[in-house]
Amino acid sequence: MQSLRMCATSETLGLIVNTLRNYPNLSRAELTTMLSLSPATLTHHVRDLIDAGWVEEQHVRRTSGGGRPRVGLALRNTATYAVTMTFSPTSLTAAVIDFGGHIVAKTRVEQPMGRVTDAMATVDRVLHDLVRAQEEKFPRFAGIGLAIPGIWDPESETVVFTPNLPEWAGMKLRDLIQRHRHDEPVFIANDADAGAWGELWFGAGRDVQDMMYVLYDIGIGAGIIIQRQLIRAQNNSIGEIGHMLVDSSNKDIQCGCGQYGCLEALGSLTALQHYQDQGMELPQTLDKISRYLSIGLGGLINVLSPQIIVFSSHIFAHYPALWPSVVRNTRGRLLQHLVHKTQFLQSPLGDNASLLGLAGLLFEQELTRSQGQTVSTVNPSQWLIHPASSPAP
Ligand SMILES: [Zn+2]
């Protein structure tokens, strides 16, 4: 019974924290209603969070009629921080994120990332610089998050599959990092999964149950959220939508996975560049890749029925005609009842989604540890709880 009670306590604290991160300055009464908790339970947990330094009473709000003042609650932004990173074959992006979900510092290193030992040496250097610059401002450090462009198996703690960084396969990244920073939590996840968490907690997915997040660049990956849980399977390998077959007869471009006809080979930025290099006119190129995208994504939407599909990509800014083409062609492949129920969105968080998603996970882990509980790194979404409804406007 003790562990059940502690679990419920941790989940409720996580729920309160996530709600205040998205809707700061709620009063105790508003939180009580929104989370369907009893006033006594809410008051008890808020007192614990304030005593431990996670939450503060911030703004006194007075109603226009001069009624009783209400005290708003907010996360203490400086309670803790995380350093999170994303990788491409040619660069590393790192951010310092505070407990409120604000990006305090961000840096980008342009360097080939193919050689994993060189890449991890750069990770170590960037971490050292960022932590040294921030540590005096924060009493706690939630840890380090890495979003990798491929599959990470948290049970064997190895990189399983990184088609655009092939030398990373089989590497135990956590060991490489913790060789230098052995005391600090390290969380590693697929970049599209991390982006989906970011959008779920901080961005386009805050108020939806089911969504698909598509990371669209030289590769294509997806994080799939059903009932506010990231779906996973063995080896953590759901979401490799880039390797769906979309044209068995097209041998134009070999995919990074070794096959031909994959969505990633024919519908990504890699394909766009390939067809441009071959002299294809831009309108035809955009139409061709958007048709391949619509085959893969349209099929997935028909299977999964997400409320929203969120695209994260720089490509749409460079080629504005691509976005309406992708939406039109994909809608054209949807089952009739889904055509007007599926919203197509460009990510409001952009390339910050994965960085924020990892930070959200590290903060949850730290909050769980502060309750004296064991943190599951295998399936963290099991212990992430989210508000089911928004506050009344
Ligand atoms: Zn492939």
Q: What is the pLDDT of residue 392?
A: 42
Among the ranges given (143-152, 277-286, 295-304, 324-333), the one the predictor scored with the smallest mean pLDDT: 143-152
What local confidence, expressed as pLDDT, does residue 383 receive? 36
Is the per-residue pLDDT at 140 higher than 60?
yes
Confidence of residue 3 (pLDDT cuts 50, 70, 90): very low
Confidence of residue 2 (pLDDT cuts 50, 70, 90): very low
Q: In angstroms, what is the span from residue 265 Cα to ligand 1's centroid?
A: 7
Quick check: 55 pLDDT over 70?
Answer: yes
pLDDT tens digit sequence for 260-281 = 999 999 999 999 999 999 999 9
Residue 53 has pLDDT above 70, yes or no: yes
Task: Count Cβ atoms below 10 Å from residue 314 Cβ, excluding itself.
Answer: 12
| Cα–ligand 1 centroid distance for 149 (angstroms) | 13
Centroid of ligand 1 to alpha carbon of 244 (angstroms): 7
Q: What is the pLDDT of residues 111-137, one digit of tens each?
A: 999 998 899 899 989 999 999 898 899
- In DSSP terms, 103 is beta-bridged to 97
Q: How confident is the model at residue 61 (pLDDT cuts 50, 70, 90)?
A: low
What separation in Å is there between the alpha carbon of 219 and the centre of ligand 1?
9
Task: Kindly give the distance from the C-alpha atom of residue 264 to the centroid of ligand 1, in angstroms, as a whole number.
Answer: 6
Residue 54: other Cβ atoms inside 10 A: 23
Q: How far, in Å, is the centroid of ligand 1 from the Cα of 263?
A: 7
Section 279-288 average pLDDT: 96
CA of 241 to the centre of ligand 1 (A): 9
Whole-number Å distance, alpha carbon 309 to ligand 1 midpoint, is 22
Distance 39 CA to ligand 1 centre (A): 53
How far is ligand 1, taken at its centre, from the CA of residue 47, in Å? 52
User: How do residues 170-209 score in pLDDT, each as one tens digit?
Assistant: 998 888 877 766 678 889 999 999 999 999 988 999 889 9
Residue 379 has pLDDT above 60, yes or no: no
Distance, CA 234 to ligand 1 centroid (Å)?
Answer: 19
Please tell me the distance between residue 195's alpha carbon and the centre of ligand 1 in angstroms: 21
Structure confidence at residue 388 as a pLDDT band (50, 70, 90): very low
**Ligand 1 centroid, distance to 251 Cα (angstroms):** 12
Query: For residue 71, how far is its CA from the centre of ligand 1 (angstroms)?
Result: 54
C-alpha angle 114-221-352 in degrees, rounded to nearest 5? 80
Distance 352 CA to ligand 1 centre (A): 26
Q: What percent of the chain has pLDDT over 90?
A: 61
Please tell me the predicted confidence (pLDDT) of residue 50: 93
- Name the residue type at position 205: G
Distance (angstroms) between ligand 1 centre and the Cα of 128 equals 36
CA of 312 from ligand 1 middle (Å) equals 20
- The proportion of the chain whose per-residue pLDDT surpasses 70, expressed as a percent, equals 88
| Cα–ligand 1 centroid distance for 81 (angstroms) | 37
CA 42 / ligand 1 centre spacing (Å): 49
pTM attached to this predicted model:
0.86
The Å distance, Cα 106 to ligand 1 centre, comes to 32
Q: Which residue has the higher pLDDT, 383 or 109?
A: 109
Please tell me the distance between residue 260's alpha carbon and the centre of ligand 1 in angstroms.
7
In angstroms, what is the span from residue 124 Cα to ligand 1's centroid? 31
Cα of 11 from ligand 1 centre, angstroms: 39
CA of 202 to the centre of ligand 1 (A): 31
Average confidence (pLDDT) over 326-344: 96
Q: How confident is the model at residue 180, as a pLDDT?
A: 67
Span from the CA of 245 to the centroid of ligand 1 (angstroms): 8
Domains by residue range for the chain, with CATH: 2-75 (1.10.10.10), 80-195+351-383 (3.30.420.40), 206-348 (3.30.420.40)
pLDDT digits (tens, 9 = 90+) for 354-378: 999 999 999 988 888 877 665 544 3
192 C-alpha to ligand 1 centroid (Å): 16
pLDDT (0 to 100) of residue 8? 55
Flag whether pLDDT at 391 surpasses 80: no
Mean per-residue pLDDT, 214-239: 84
How far apart CA 12 and CA 368 sit, in angstroms, is 11
Rounded mean pLDDT of the chain? 86
Three-state SS across the chain? CHHHHHHHHHHHHHHHHHHHHHCCCECHHHHHHHHCCCHHHHHHHHHHHHHCCCEEEEEEECCCCCCCCEEEEEECHHHCEEEEEEEECCEEEEEEEECCCCEEEEEEEECCCCCHHHHHHHHHHHHHHHHHHHHHHCCCCCEEEEEECCEEECCCCEEEECCCCHHHCCCCHHHHHHCCCCCCCEEEEEHHHHHHHHHHHHCCCCCCCCEEEEEECCCEEEEEEECCEECCCHHHCCCCHHHCECCCCCCCCECCCCCECEHHHHHCHHHHHHHHHCCCCHHHHHHHHHHHHHHHHHHHHHHHCCCEEEEECCHHHHCCCHHHHHHHHHHCCCCHHHHCCCEEEECCCHHHHHHHHHHHHHHHHHHHHHCCCCCCCCCHHHHCCCCCCCCCC
Q: Which of 245-259, 320-334, 373-387 has the lowest mean pLDDT?
A: 373-387
